[in-house]
Structure 1
Amino acid sequence: MARRGGLVGVARLRARDVDRVAAVSKLDAAYADGQLSPAEHGDRVVAANAAKTLGELDGLLADLQLEPEFRDPPIRPAVVATRSWLPGAVALALLLALTGVGCWFVASGSEAGGAQVPSSQPAVTPIVAPVVDFNTVAGLQSFRDQYRARFGDTQADSAVFYPAFGARYAAVVRMDDRPDRAIDYSYRGGFSPGSVSDRDPATVSFDLDAMNLPALVKLMTTISGLVEVPDAAISHIMVDTTSGAPTIRIYAANSVGRGGFVETSLAGVISRAVPYRR
């Protein structure tokens, strides 16, 4: 986002999917600590997923109290000063020249000393993380199984799934080693720990195992009708207990930001539908 950076023109830069995901994560955090009501959160999430520029995303976050590490974008646009290229270019040319001389000496030494001895190190086989599709029962079940294998249980304070993005991203907050501390994890085929924060010991966790996945996925396929926007697609799915009971919220919008959300129980029973407000 363009916030507090003082970079001319950054606000007009086009937003990427990663920028929209980052903005929605900040909105989720603001909702979780009481800065936004459910309706405000839903409206801003819809707007964030339809945002075209970094300035639009910045406007959705401008009045929120954000943790210091959340105030700046994950990746800032590169800025090149108009007169700073010449010293850098000279230094680069010198480095390349020295590198070339070094390579000549190495090559000469190799020719004089005979053939190179091949490395005895084994070839490295890359590890490819499995792709999890949060739009399917199998994908959600795979996530749940991996969660259980990683943590030994299926308890969480909150979870957010982003099925619309190619990275198949998810974020989870759960109790740390003490009831007064929480730790967040990001998921992209595996769980990576993030920051540790204060946690109300009275916080009620929910059980991922209690989610009726077939009912949830069936509901996801009808979301466009429920929010009354025919071309709406799911932006993200949020699960938490901030309303007092475990609740699933499914947010959907089209490319111009028209959308809404649906609230259900973990069993998949709809408790509220908030369609697009014309």
Structure 2
Amino acid sequence: MADSPQARSVADPRTRARDIDRAEVSTVLDAAYAEGQLGAQEYHDRVKRAGSARTLGELRGLTADLQSPAVFGPTTERKRFGRKHSGEYPARTKARDDDRARTIAALDTARADGQLDAEEHTAMTELAAEARTLGELATLVAELQQRPAPPVKPKARNTFRIVTIAAVGLAAVGGFAWTIRADEPAAKETAASVDYDAAPPLVIPTPNLNTIAGFVQFRDDYRTKFGDAVVDEAVLHDEHASAVRRAPDNGDWTVSYTYRGGFERSNSQVTTRDRKAVDIDLAQVNTDALAAVLNAAATTLGVPGGVVSHYRIANDTWVGRPSITVYVRNEVSQSAHLVLALSGEVLKTYPYER
């Protein structure tokens, strides 16, 4: 059966975009930013481009490398463009905070059972924390016996069938209305005009989490959200963070959250709790000692021009207790890290070696 003109026009990337198409893409970009797939600058750039996009092809390009991208047009037309409905994402797809956290957990397991030595584990963990794509993460765990399952694309709904049914229903209702209201004058059609440049995207400001003020804000917001300050793990970067805690209805499961000024579930699933995990009360962190370490970390570790890239609060099996690992990196990827107890005592340093 030949494609209808309507189906061809929706599939054609040259088709003019509507305001609702631009708004849909902006919503997808909002979600990608919240999940850590996009940095702040890239997010703002893409939202601006979405607001000024003239065609569906331009809009598709803004979400092509994201997980769960917006769906345009009928599913039958998406096949013609070679876009799969389900299965694994391409390697170039942007990684979420949750993807990075699951990869780091796999590396921790590999270190615990002897697949990786300490130096390999440290280097690969740092790379995982900075990875931007699913391909980069997959490379890090490709040789491990236990690898985290890759994210899977959700099955696309048959939007063409839904739209067709809705259109038929509306046509029937419209025909009925026309027969009983034919004597009334037709309403004048108007198209709402949206000035996207006049309405910049609303982004919740996030504190610099690599400062003690940022940590305190994160901890206070966490306590407000959950009623306590207990985590299995927390990883804080300058603009975002992730946290893992016990599931509320089953202590053998955990739930992951992302933080950008507020907490959101990283995904809709719960996972089995890591056997090495323990309850860590963030209230036990000595903030004065942590502040001193964060401020002096680059100097202490000897990383030229280095800054704190992130720090991880978790149960460290190598020091035998919950600890904070602070990572320092510079613009040319020279890095080092140190480990301190929640009380502030520095337990181990791994300085940069020239």
Specify if TM > 0.5.
yes
| Alignment partners' CA distance in 2, 1:37 and 1:208 | 29
Task: Give the drift of 1:218.
Answer: 2.1
Partner in structure 2 of residue 147 of structure 1: 222
Partner in structure 2 of residue 174 of structure 1: 245
Quote the RMSD (CA, aligned, Å): 3.9
1:47-86 alignment runs, 5 A limit: 47-48=127-128, 58-64=138-144, 65-68=146-149, 71-72=150-151
AA of the residue aligned to 1:272: K
| Alignment partners' CA distance in 2, 1:114 and 1:178 | 57
Partner in structure 1 of residue 257 of structure 2: 185
| Alignment partners' CA distance in 1, 2:132 and 2:213 | 33
Partner in structure 2 of residue 250 of structure 1: 326
- 1:86-117 superposed Cα distances (whole Å, 9 cap, x missing partner): xxxxxxxxxxxxxxxxxxxxxxx9xx546789
Partner in structure 2 of residue 228 of structure 1: 302
1:154–1:209 CA contact under 8 A, matched in 2: yes
AA of the residue aligned to 1:190: G
AA of the residue aligned to 1:255: E
Partner in structure 1 of residue 287 of structure 2: 213
| Alignment partners' CA distance in 1, 2:341 and 2:207 | 23
**How high is the sequence identity, in percent, across the aligned residues?**
32
1:1-278 alignment runs, 5 A limit: 19=95, 24-35=100-111, 36=116, 38-48=118-128, 58-64=138-144, 65-68=146-149, 71-72=150-151, 112-113=185-186, 128-163=203-238, 168-176=239-247, 177-193=249-265, 194=267, 195-199=269-273, 203-243=277-317, 244-278=320-354
> Aligned with 2:333: secondary structure?
coil
1:32–1:242 CA contact under 8 A, matched in 2: no
Task: Give the drift of 1:159.
Answer: 0.7
1:44–1:60 CA contact under 8 A, matched in 2: yes
Task: Give the drift of 1:38.
Answer: 4.8
The one of the two structures with greater contact order (alpha-carbon pairs below 8 A, sep at least 6) is: 1
| Alignment partners' CA distance in 2, 1:178 and 1:53 | 32
| Alignment partners' CA distance in 1, 2:336 and 2:291 | 17
Which 5+ residue runs of structure 2 have no aligned equivalent? 1-64, 66-86, 154-181, 191-200
Cα gap change, 1:219/1:200 in structure 2, threshold over 3 Å: closer, same or farther?
A: closer
Task: Give the drift of 1:41.
Answer: 2.9
Deviation larger for 50-59 or 140-149: 50-59
2:107–2:125 CA contact under 8 A, matched in 1: no
| Alignment partners' CA distance in 1, 2:223 and 2:251 | 19
Cα gap change, 1:57/1:33 in structure 2, threshold over 3 Å: closer, same or farther?
A: closer
2:128–2:140 CA contact under 8 A, matched in 1: yes
| Count of residues in correspondence between the two structures | 224
Partner in structure 2 of residue 82 of structure 1: none
| Alignment partners' CA distance in 2, 1:173 and 1:215 | 24
TM-score, length-scaled by structure 2: 0.53
Task: Give the drift of 1:127.
Answer: 7.0
Cα gap change, 1:276/1:53 in structure 2, threshold over 3 Å: closer, same or farther?
A: farther
TM-score, length-scaled by structure 1: 0.65
Cα gap change, 1:214/1:192 in structure 2, threshold over 3 Å: closer, same or farther?
A: same
> Aligned with 2:251: secondary structure?
coil
Cα gap change, 1:146/1:266 in structure 2, threshold over 3 Å: closer, same or farther?
A: same
AA of the residue aligned to 1:181: W
- 1:49-100 superposed Cα distances (whole Å, 9 cap, x missing partner): 67799865543232243332xx2599xxxxxxxxxxxxxxxxxxxxxxxxxx
Task: Give the drift of 1:131.
Answer: 1.5
Cα gap change, 1:220/1:188 in structure 2, threshold over 3 Å: closer, same or farther?
A: same
Task: Give the drift of 1:48.
Answer: 4.8
